[in-house]
Structure formats: C-alpha cells, structure tokens
Structure 1
Amino acid sequence: MLKHLYIKNFTLIDKLDIDFHKGFSVISGETGAGKSIILGAIGLLLGNRADSKQIKQGEKKCIIEAKFNLAKYDFENFFTENNIDFDAEETILRREISDNGKSRAFINDTPVSLTQMRTLGEQLVDIHSQHQNLLLQKEDFQLNVIDIIAQNSKELSAYRKAYNTYKNTEKKLETRKKQIAENIQNEEFMRFQFDELSNANLQENQQEELEAESKTLSHAEDIKSSLFDADNALNDEDAGVVRRLKIASETLSNIAPLYPKAAEVSERLNSAYIEIKDIAEEVSAATADIEFDPNRLDRINEQLDKIYHLEQKFHITSITELLDIQEQLKKQLQSIDNSDEEVKELEAELAKHLEECKKQADILTKTRTKSAKKIQEEIHQRLVPMGIPNVQFDVQFIEKPFAIDGNNKVQFLFSANKNSPVQPIAQVASGGEIARVMLSLKAMISCTVKLPTIIFDEIDTGVSGKIAEQMARIMQEMGENNRQVISITHLPQIAALGTSHYKVEKRDTESGTTSQLRELTQNERITEIAQMLSGSDISDAALQNARELLKV
C-alpha cells in the first residue's frame, strides 16, 4: 500500500509531504483545486511520460517520490530479476524531471528504465479515472476482465503456445509453397544451368592446376632448352659439375693420411656431390618429360575457357563457388521432384497443430464460460442495491477465427429495465450506470488480483444519495482485504464513509497559485462534508447532517 507521497516543484505544487493509511480513504476539494495534478504526479511513478513543462515555473527540477509497504504482497521476484534491493516494509519509487527535458527513475535508489518502473508501478497502483469507463466499449477489455476473474493464465498460455505453433507451421507451409511455385516456374532454366555446370566436369583446385600446366606447355621449347643447358652443365662427361665434384672429393680423400684436414673437406665435397647428383638426375628427368603437346594445350585451354565463362556468367571467381551453385541447383531440382510429398507432410503437420489449437481453445472457452456465469451473477447482486433493481446483464460469446487471445468474441449485454432486451452496454447504459458496472467489475477483479492500491477518480459521476452510499460501501469493502482504496469524490455520502479524509486546496500567495493536500481532523471533516452538502454557506442543518453521515 501507499504509505507516503512526496512531491516538490510539480506544476502548482511547491511541496507536498503526506502520509496515507490502509483501508478506504477519500479525497475531496473544489473543482480545479489540484486533484488531477496529484494524480498526474502519481502517474509519473507508474511510468507515464514526463515533460519539462510539468516543473513549477521558475524551478530547475521537480521530484515525485512514493513509499510503499509490500509486506503482504509477493513482489520479491521482480526485485531479484532486476537486481534491485528489496525492502518489503519500505519500497521507494522516485522520478526526477529536469528543465532540460531529461527524466530519471529510481526504485530503492537504484536507477531503472521507464519500462522497469512501469512494470512495477502497474502492479502497485491502479488509477481508475472517468475515461476508463469507456473501456467497457472495447471487446478486448471485456475479454480481459473475464480472463482475470477466471484466473486462467495457465490455460491462456497453453492456448497461445499451441496457436503460435500452428501459425508458424502455417507460415512455413505458405513460404514453402511459394518457393516451390517459384522453383517450378524457373525449373527449365535451373536444369539448363545445372546441366551446364555438370557437363563442365568441375573439380576442386582444377583451375589452378590447369592454369599452371597451360603456362608450362605454352613455353615448352624455352623450358626444355634451359633444362638441356642445365643438364649439360651438371652431367657433361668432361666439364660437368657432378664429375668434377666427384674427382675433387676423391683427390682430397687420397691425401687424407698425409694431410688430415683434407679428410673433412673431402667429406663436405662428397655430401655436395650426392646432393648435386640428385638434382642433376631430376633435371635430366624433367628434360625428358617436357614435350610440346599442342593437342593437350588445346584441351586445357578449352577447359579453362569453360571455367572462365561460367565464373563470369555467375559473377564469381572460383571453382569452389561454382560447385556450391551446382549443389544448390541440385537440391532445388530435387526439391521440385519431391515437392508434392513435402507439402503433404507440412499439411499433415499443420492439421495436427490445428487440432491441438482447437483442443486448447475449447479448454480456454470453458474457463471463460464459467467466469462469465460468475460475473453475471455477481454484477446482478451488486447493481440491485445500487439503484438498478431490474438489471439484466449477460455475457455473450460468439465464435471467431483463431487469434492470439483465443476464438471467443465477447460482448457485455445490459438492460436497466425489466421489459427491455439486453443490448451492448456501451449503446444503452447511462454514464451513471456504466460507473456502477465498472465499480462492480473492479471490486470483482480486486478480489482476484492482489493489487495493493486502487485510486478511483470521481467514479461517482452521475449518481447520488443512497446509490452513492452503496458505491462507497463497495469501496469500503474492497479496502478491508489487505488493500488500500482511495476515492476522489464530490459526494458527501462517499466522503463520510472514508476511514481517512484528505482535502485538496488551492491558495494564492505572493509567489503565485499553489495547490496543497492535507489530512482533515474530525471537526474539519464535519465542516468539509457540510460544505459538500450545502455549499459555501454552511447551515446548522448541514452540520447536523454531516455529523449523522459520519455517525459522530
């Protein structure tokens, strides 16, 4: 629940520093006194967007801070997941807005994003303003009410999982059919390309090897001539390097007994002889191997021309890429050949997921139907004491195509008169009737959802007298179940039933107009309610009526 609210330099508020209590509290004040300003400040703590124009004129920064007691609520997981210190007795939300347009948000002095603050704020406070009554016109709101009271989050989650699987499979099938259609349309061209690549007999590293061989054959005469000269220099019988090294090594070996240093040199020469002899044999073999073969050169250049043509055609630079394209075309053609079987498999998979989607939708519908009966019964029980004795309220379900929220289209049907047929509530209910329906729904929701604080902003519009008193008793009842209910009201019947009473006042000072909020004493409450009964001129009768309403 909201324990304390601190506001500084926010629009008309210089400084507000006030405690709130558990149970049912009321806030009163003249129109324009600043009630909406206070709600606007609380809205910032719930993640609403900030504007530097909200800063009090002449100031650099405004601060809104609220302290909550969450001891009776389960919020620890949020703080753990967001790495924020948790104090169940005192959780602090703070917004700071600077005149440069920047806004900062904090939870327990930890900087947080606006999304994080909004996520927590929506679970702490529900502000029900008059415009929220318009939500009754929206089908998604009506369906959401049914789901909240049904407490069917598990069933809804199971349905959504089945629905998403179904839709993903449906999308996969549509995409595959489209691909197959495109492939079939291009099949002739793809087969031509595949055959062209296949007939080229491409192999990895083929281009590099052929280019090297082409270069060799193109210069075969020059290469053979050079190899021949090198062979003569190495192997000539008289002046060849090999023979001379052999002679030099043997000559030094002969004098080794007389000149020991010659032995080492002889060994080195012998090693060189062995290496050069091996080289000479390779040169001789190469000389014999090199032959100019114009037919072979033509075949090589013809294959290279094919490779270059294909690379240019497909805008690539290697045989590896050509082989990749060939493999891709092969798979696409195989896919065309197997397309009928593939589509049948996907259609069978889709049918299976559709059945699961139907199954989960039926389970979800049962929870909603049960919830709808409960809503119908309780709405009737609540509205009769609130001045609609002949109320008729039905929840109508119409089957719709599967969507993320199920296959139920829902409408709240209403009639305030005994012999009038029920119609969509937004079309036939008055403002006061809608306010009473919304209060009844909020009361039901509050029993299901553990929401610490609910603020009603003039939900009593269009009602008065006994009806207003009954509405106040419902809010009073809501405030008894570990919940804090605050009602902003103009009606004395509602104000009198509050456990605590606050008043918003606007004052003119030398520095300008300011708005203040203060808690009233018992005597001040009598005066305030008397004024709400009779206006600015408070009569003795009004004071006596106020005491009777307050039972003092």
Structure 2
Amino acid sequence: MLRGLSIKNFALIEQLQVSFDSGLITITGETGAGKSLLLGALGLLLGKRADLSSVKDSSQKCIIEGVFEIKHYDLTRLFEEEGLDYENETIIRREILPSGKSRAFVNDTPVTLQSLALLGAKLIDIHSQHQTLEVTTNDFQFEVLDALAETYREIESYKRGLTLLKEKEKEVNSLIANQEEFNKEYDYNAFLLKELEEAKLKAGELAELEERYEKLNNIEEIQERLSGSIAIVSSEEIGVLDQLNTIKTNLSKIESFSGALKELSDRVQSIYIELDDVHLSLQNELEKLEADPEQLEQLSKRIELLHNLQVKHTVSTVEELIEISETLRQKVSKTESLTDDINELRNEIDRIKSQLDDVAEKIHKKRNKALPKLIEELEEILKSLGMPNASFNATLEMQEKYLSNGKEVLAFLFSANKGGSYGELKKVASGGELSRIMIAIKAILSRYAQLPTIIFDEIDTGVSGEVAQKMADLMMNMSKNLQVFSITHLPQIAANGQSHYKVYKEDINNTTVTQLKLLDKEERVHEIAEMIGGKSISDSALTHAKSLLHN
C-alpha cells in the first residue's frame, strides 16, 4: 500500500508531504483545485513519461517520491528479475532535471521506465471514468473470471506449455525451411560427394604418384645412366673398383711404416667397401627397372583425376579435397536426417498439444463452474447500485486454436433493462453503467485476489442519493482487504473514508499553489456540509454532514 507521498516543484505543487493509512481514504476538493495533479504525480511514479512543462520552476529539480509497503504483494521474484534490492518498505523516486532529463530509482537503484511500469502496475491501480472501458475487454473479463475460478496454477502451467509449443513450432518451421533449402542443393552435393568418395582419396598420395610416374616415364634414361655408372665402377682393369683395389693393395703393403699411411690405408678400405655397396645398389636398381606402359597410363590417369578434382574444388592438395569430402558428407547426411528430425519434432508438438488440451479442459471446467457465481454476484451488487434490471448472459466456447490463456472464447453480454436484448458491454452500456460495473467487479475481485492499492478517480460521477451510499458502503467493504483511495464529489463517499484529505489552492507570496490537508473531525463536518449545500453552509447541511459521519 501507499504509505507516503512527497512532491516537490510539480505543476502548482511547491512542496507537499503526506502520509496515508490503510482502509478507505477519500480526497475531496473543488474542481480545478489540483486533484488531477496528485494523479499526475503518481503516474510518474508508475512509469509514465515525464514532461518538463509539468515542472513548476524549470530552473529547479522536480522530485516525486512514494513509500510503499509491499510485504503482502509477493514481489520478490519481480525484484530479482529486474535486478533490484527487495525491501518490505520500498521507496520509488522520480526526478525531472532542469535539462528535461528524467531519472527513476527504486530503493536508490536506477531503473528504466519499463521496469518502473512493471513494478508500478503491481502497486497501484488507477480507475477513472475514462478507464472503465477496460471492463469491456475480453482479457479483463477473463482476469475476473479466473480470480473466482482459482485457475492460477492451471493457467501458469498452460502458459508454460504454450511457450514451449511456440518454440517447438518455430523450430520445426525452421527445419522445414532448411530442408527446402538443402533439398535444392542435395542432388549436387550428393553428386560431388559420390565423385570424391569414388576417387578414394588418401593423404600424401599425389606426391607418391607423381614420383612413380616420373620414374616410369623416364625409365630408358635411368637405365642408360645406371648401366653407364655400373660400367665405370666395375669394368675390368679400368673400372673404379679395380683401380681402387690396386690402391688398397699398395697401401696395405706400406701401412705398417707410419700411422699416417695406416690411416690412409683404412680410409681407402672404407671407400672401397662403400663403393662396392653402391655398385650392388646400382645393379639392384637396374634389375628392378622394367618398362610398364600400362601402369604408366594408369598413373597418368590417376594424377590427372586428382588434379582435375583440385581445380574443380579450387584447392591445391588432396588433404583439402578430403576436408571438402567430409563437409559434403555432413551436408548430405544432415539433409537426409532432417526428415527424421522434423518427424520427431512433430511428434513432440503433438505430445505438448495433448498436454495443453488436458490443462485447457481443466481451466474450462473451473471457469464454467465459476461463471454463474460471477454473474450472480455482479447482478446483486448492481441492483444495490441502482441498476435493478441489470443482467448478464455469458458463455464459454472451446476453440481449436490455442489462445494466450486457454482455448476458450468468452461472450460476456449485458442488458440494463428488463426484457431488453443482450449486447456487448462496449456497445450497450453507458458510461455511468460501465463505471458501476467496474466498481462492482473490483469489489468482487477484492475478495478473491490480492489487489494493489486502488484509486477511484471520480468514478462515482452521475450517482446520488441511496445509490451513492451503496457505492460508499461497497468501497468501505473493499477497503477491509486493500487500501482504497476515492477522489469524489459525493458527500456519502467522503464521509465513509477512514481518512479524509482535502485538495485546495491558496495564494502564497502572490503565487497560487496546491495543498493537500488531512482533515480533523470538525473540518470534515464543514467540508461535507459544503459538499451538500455549497459555500453557504446551512444548519441542515451541518446536521446532515454529522449524520453521515455518525457524529
């Protein structure tokens, strides 16, 4: 509930600080005295956009601060989601700087207007004649019905399921779109993959193939060179081996004469052994050589294939072709598996829908049970508010479509006159009738739901006499469960307030300012008498005022 309000430098309000209690709080004052300024200031606390023109002195900062007791509102989760420090007594402050810039704070933590609006909607519910059209909306009608039907848990479960359903439907639609796109490329990708797979690519293969090809392609020259080299090494008398053997023999006969000669002899011996081994290797290589035109052609074709694939895929190595092959394999596999994924998702969507249908059916049964009770209570309250023939005809019809709060369409029809035809509230109910219907609904809601502070802004316009007293009693009953403000011109309602404030203007230092004052008993009698009979207060008006106040 709203415990305190402080306003500085706002419109005609220079400085105002006031505290509020629980129960029914009435605010009265002449037209133009500034009651709307209080609502304007509260609107800023609730997240409405600021306007520099509403600042009294544009060279000074405008500050509006509200103190709220929120321990009964179950708002800890909202505070956590918005990153705010929760306090049972929460302070909301709004500042408008001379530059026109606006700032908002919750418990001294800066917040955005969006966060402020989310919190404000949980703290204060302002209703004026212009806002009674809310009662004609299906969302509001369902909100009232669900409060009586106690469907909170089912609707929360339904909404979670609906969110999941939308996610899965979005996911399957995305997969279907991907499938259509992949299908366009599937044949081409599959062809490329098949071509690469048939090539049976191996890392490092190309270098090996090219080496073998070069050897076979130049076999005659290799044979000639090897044969010539063998002849040089091994021909009798003039061959290198024979000549080296002679050197080796000569040195072996003199190696004992000195260490140097011994070393030379050993070195020649090593060279002879190595050259003999080279001779054997040359012979082996020559023996292995065999012209093979068929293999040469196969190698040529294989190398050409690999080169063509590299050019086709704009790469320079077989390893890169292997990578492309793997990528294509994944694309083709993904396309082939998409159908299975889509079918699996569709099955999951069917399961979610089945669960949603079950929850929607439970909601429907609870609502159907509560609907007659809602109509009965509404009609009973409206009779006391001077609408004896008011009646409602409401139906709930299940739909195939999944709506935001169930699968039902609510037809909430109204007739103000006996024997009259039923029609939609917004079409057949007058402004005064809508005001009474709204206050009746709020009265019912106050018994079934934890409502925020309610402010009725002249919602009683056009009401008088016994009906005014009934409306006052209704507000009084509501105030047993929540804090109720009523800005009113009716003495009956003003007299019912447990606290009574008066808004008035006065001139201070040649400047008109708006003030708000908590009236004592004597001042209340005078104020209500003035509301009854005007400025010239008669004895009968005073007597009537005292009777309303039970003085």
TM-score (norm 1): 0.80
User: C-alpha separation between the residues in 1 aligned to 2:259 and 2:155?
Assistant: 108
**2:19 maps to which residue?**
19
Shift in Å at residue 215 of structure 1?
Answer: 7.8
User: C-alpha separation between the residues in 2 aligned to 1:272 and 1:64?
Assistant: 107
Maintained 8 Å contact 2:310/2:321:
no
User: C-alpha separation between the residues in 2 aligned to 1:107 and 1:450?
Assistant: 22
Deviates more, 1:146-155 or 1:49-58: 49-58
- Counterpart amino acid of residue 19 in structure 1: S
* Local SS of the residue matching 2:41: helix
Query: Relative to 1, partners in 2 of residues 1:206 and 1:291: Cα closer, same or farther, differing over 3 Å?
Result: farther
- Counterpart amino acid of residue 415 in structure 2: S
Maintained 8 Å contact 2:391/2:415:
yes
User: C-alpha separation between the residues in 1 aligned to 2:273 and 2:529?
Assistant: 127
- Counterpart amino acid of residue 393 in structure 2: D
Is 1:543 the equivalent of 2:539? no
Deviates more, 1:300-309 or 1:1-10: 300-309
* Local SS of the residue matching 1:395: strand
Shift in Å at residue 296 of structure 1?
Answer: 5.4
Is 1:195 the equivalent of 2:180? no
Shift in Å at residue 390 of structure 1?
Answer: 2.1
**2:313 maps to which residue?**
311
**1:69 maps to which residue?**
69
**1:302 maps to which residue?**
304
Alignment deviations for residues 238-281 of structure 1 (CA, whole Å, 9 cap, x no partner): 999xx9xxx9xx99xx99x989xx99xxx9xx999999999999
**1:144 maps to which residue?**
143
User: C-alpha separation between the residues in 2 aligned to 1:511 and 1:274?
Assistant: 128
Is 1:460 the equivalent of 2:460? yes
1:137-286 alignment to 2 at 5 Å?
137-171=136-170, 186=184, 190-191=186-187, 193-201=189-197, 206=202, 209-210=205-206, 213-214=209-210
**1:532 maps to which residue?**
531
**2:451 maps to which residue?**
451
* Local SS of the residue matching 1:414: strand
1:353-368 alignment to 2 at 5 Å?
353-368=352-367
Alignment deviations for residues 472-522 of structure 1 (CA, whole Å, 9 cap, x no partner): 1111111123x2111011111211111111111233445643222121222
Query: Relative to 1, partners in 2 of residues 1:298 and 1:437: Cα closer, same or farther, differing over 3 Å?
Result: same
User: C-alpha separation between the residues in 2 aligned to 1:365 and 1:275?
Assistant: 102
Instruction: Please identify the structure whose Cα radius of gyration is greater.
Output: 2
Maintained 8 Å contact 1:412/1:425:
yes
- Counterpart amino acid of residue 489 in structure 1: T
User: C-alpha separation between the residues in 2 aligned to 1:475 and 1:137?
Assistant: 21
Query: Relative to 1, partners in 2 of residues 1:94 and 1:179: Cα closer, same or farther, differing over 3 Å?
Result: closer
Is 1:3 the equivalent of 2:3? yes
Maintained 8 Å contact 1:198/1:326:
no
Maintained 8 Å contact 1:207/1:319:
no
User: C-alpha separation between the residues in 2 aligned to 1:284 and 1:112?
Assistant: 92
Query: Relative to 1, partners in 2 of residues 1:61 and 1:203: Cα closer, same or farther, differing over 3 Å?
Result: farther
Maintained 8 Å contact 1:9/1:63:
yes
Query: Relative to 1, partners in 2 of residues 1:288 and 1:171: Cα closer, same or farther, differing over 3 Å?
Result: farther
* Local SS of the residue matching 1:56: coil
* Local SS of the residue matching 1:384: helix
User: C-alpha separation between the residues in 2 aligned to 1:221 and 1:544?
Assistant: 133
CA RMSD of aligned residues (A): 4.6
1:288-299 alignment to 2 at 5 Å?
295=297, 298-299=300-301
Maintained 8 Å contact 1:207/1:304:
no
User: C-alpha separation between the residues in 1 aligned to 2:3 and 2:91?
Assistant: 10
Maintained 8 Å contact 1:94/1:106:
yes
* Local SS of the residue matching 2:42: helix
Shift in Å at residue 544 of structure 1?
Answer: 2.8
Shift in Å at residue 451 of structure 1?
Answer: 3.1
Is 1:37 the equivalent of 2:33? no
1:490-509 alignment to 2 at 5 Å?
490-509=489-508
Deviates more, 1:500-509 or 1:429-438: 500-509
Is 1:326 the equivalent of 2:328? yes
User: C-alpha separation between the residues in 1 aligned to 2:392 and 2:33?
Assistant: 38
In structure 2, the gaps of 5 or more residues are none
Is 1:473 the equivalent of 2:469? no
Maintained 8 Å contact 2:204/2:319:
no
- Counterpart amino acid of residue 384 in structure 1: K
1:390-429 alignment to 2 at 5 Å?
390-400=389-399, 401-429=401-429
Shift in Å at residue 16 of structure 1?
Answer: 0.8
Query: Relative to 1, partners in 2 of residues 1:284 and 1:352: Cα closer, same or farther, differing over 3 Å?
Result: farther
* Local SS of the residue matching 1:57: coil
* Local SS of the residue matching 2:417: coil
Q: Number of residues paired by the alignment?
A: 528
* Local SS of the residue matching 1:531: helix
User: C-alpha separation between the residues in 1 aligned to 2:207 and 2:392?
Assistant: 89
User: C-alpha separation between the residues in 1 aligned to 2:414 and 2:154?
Assistant: 28
- Counterpart amino acid of residue 308 in structure 1: Q
Maintained 8 Å contact 1:311/1:318:
no
User: C-alpha separation between the residues in 1 aligned to 2:273 and 2:26?
Assistant: 112
Shift in Å at residue 64 of structure 1?
Answer: 0.9
User: C-alpha separation between the residues in 2 aligned to 1:283 and 1:44?
Assistant: 101
Shift in Å at residue 167 of structure 1?
Answer: 4.5
Shift in Å at residue 462 of structure 1?
Answer: 2.3
* Local SS of the residue matching 2:313: helix
* Local SS of the residue matching 2:470: helix
User: C-alpha separation between the residues in 1 aligned to 2:341 and 2:539?
Assistant: 89
**2:487 maps to which residue?**
488
Shift in Å at residue 102 of structure 1?
Answer: 2.9
User: C-alpha separation between the residues in 1 aligned to 2:161 and 2:95?
Assistant: 44
**1:519 maps to which residue?**
518
Shift in Å at residue 9 of structure 1?
Answer: 1.3
User: C-alpha separation between the residues in 1 aligned to 2:378 and 2:277?
Assistant: 108
* Local SS of the residue matching 1:496: helix
**2:134 maps to which residue?**
135
Deviates more, 1:495-504 or 1:56-65: 56-65
* Local SS of the residue matching 1:318: helix
Maintained 8 Å contact 1:46/1:121:
yes
In structure 1, the gaps of 5 or more residues are none
User: C-alpha separation between the residues in 1 aligned to 2:271 and 2:545?
Assistant: 126
Maintained 8 Å contact 2:529/2:537:
yes
Query: Relative to 1, partners in 2 of residues 1:211 and 1:33: Cα closer, same or farther, differing over 3 Å?
Result: farther
Maintained 8 Å contact 1:214/1:300:
no
Maintained 8 Å contact 1:129/1:456:
yes
User: C-alpha separation between the residues in 2 aligned to 1:390 and 1:102?
Assistant: 53
User: C-alpha separation between the residues in 1 aligned to 2:488 and 2:414?
Assistant: 26
User: C-alpha separation between the residues in 2 aligned to 1:96 and 1:76?
Assistant: 25
Query: Relative to 1, partners in 2 of residues 1:35 and 1:272: Cα closer, same or farther, differing over 3 Å?
Result: farther
Alignment deviations for residues 520-541 of structure 1 (CA, whole Å, 9 cap, x no partner): 2222222222222233333333
Alignment deviations for residues 416-450 of structure 1 (CA, whole Å, 9 cap, x no partner): 22222332222222222211110111112222232
User: C-alpha separation between the residues in 2 aligned to 1:391 and 1:406?
Assistant: 28
- % identity of equivalent residues: 38
User: C-alpha separation between the residues in 2 aligned to 1:113 and 1:298?
Assistant: 74
